[in-house]
Amino acid sequence: MKIVFLGTNGWYDTETGNTVSILIETKHEFIILDAGGGFHKIGRYIKGNKPISLFLSHLHLDHIIGLHTLARFNFPQGISLYCPAGTKKSLTRIINRPYTVPFKRLKTKISLHQLNPAKLPMPLKEIKRLKHPVACYGFRFVLENKIVSYCPDTGLCSNLFKLAKGADMFITECSAKPGKKDKKWPHLDAKEAALVAKQAKAKKMILVHFNPYLYPDLGERKKAVKQAKRIFKNSLAAFDNQTVNL
């Protein structure tokens, strides 16, 4: 299994990185996590006719702005797009005229679904709401007998620990820094993320979704990893275009 970090920023694109989008390739399928500014790179990696599934955690623009670039692609197998319950109407309002090309006019056929916790598409095993000003969800997949958890845009909460429990790969956000918190806009810092990974007994943690205002260069990300490693040794920071094998 190959995990490609197409975009690793939160909030907005900078020279350091695009906003968050992650591509997972298994023997049988492609899975995309969020569609931020890095989403436009999927054409570099998606080859052949394996099924493509795209999972959106929520509709903040830094997680969906890349959908504007769908008009570039013509994937014959189409894309199954999954959004949180109650957001389909809003999503189709944004991905529409006068803002961009509507889903129904794209060359790639888009099958749009709302996620139902009681009936999840394989290989998604669990979704849980995270701590964020709007409804934002974390995902837990079982892929090739490995657990991959993705938890963007959240403060500390019980569901975060549940999703991370025993994960072979725990991908989580690192938007904040210690001492620079906004209670109205909860996010994790590196130490908090590491504590979650340690207590949840995850095997590996990768930090992503760095706030570019607080992390203006890659050196700041490296400092965050050093902080995390003091608590959870098997910690990494994600960088745009980085590939991790699992």
**183 pLDDT higher than 80:** no
Predicted confidence band of residue 178 (pLDDT cuts 50, 70, 90): confident
pTM: 0.98
For 34-69, the pLDDT digits (tens) are 999 999 999 999 999 999 999 999 999 999 999 999
Separation between Cα atoms, residue 23 and residue 34, nearest integer Å: 9
pLDDT at 30: 98
**184 pLDDT higher than 90:** no
Predicted confidence band of residue 186 (pLDDT cuts 50, 70, 90): very high
Predicted confidence band of residue 98 (pLDDT cuts 50, 70, 90): very high
User: In the CATH scheme, what is the code of domain 2-245?
Assistant: 3.60.15.10
**182 pLDDT higher than 90:** no
